[in-house]
Amino acid sequence: MKPVKTPYARRQMLVCFNSRDPATGKPSCGMNGGAQLRDYLKKTVKERGLKGDVIVTGTGCIDICPAHGCAVAFQPDGEFFVSDTDEASAEALIAHLVR
């Protein structure tokens, strides 16, 4: 194994968009709008010229399964959030990111 230096930067936002079968009765970020949140964050990061510093990555389950919203992790910070998937919540994540 050989480490590789990424062209991206210092931070990564991991946005869960895992979808579980509704028959399980368990919530999942995909059913709560995780993919839409990921897409909005990717677009916003690019529009604001943050792409060289931040990468937004959609992920499978990161073991935080909220009834509403979706799980978001900031790396390498090690911070985890449950976020609503509306624009205002996405903007709050971006604001936290660039603090």
Give the tens place of pLDDT for each residue, 33-85: 999 999 999 999 999 999 888 899 999 999 999 999 999 999 988 999 999 99
Confidence at 13, pLDDT banded by 50, 70, 90: very high
34-41: list long-range contacts, CB under 8 Å, 24+ apart. 34/58, 34/70, 34/71, 34/85, 36/85, 37/70, 37/72, 37/83, 37/85, 37/89, 37/90, 40/87, 40/90, 41/13, 41/15, 41/90, 41/93, 41/94
pLDDT at 6: 66
pTM: 0.87
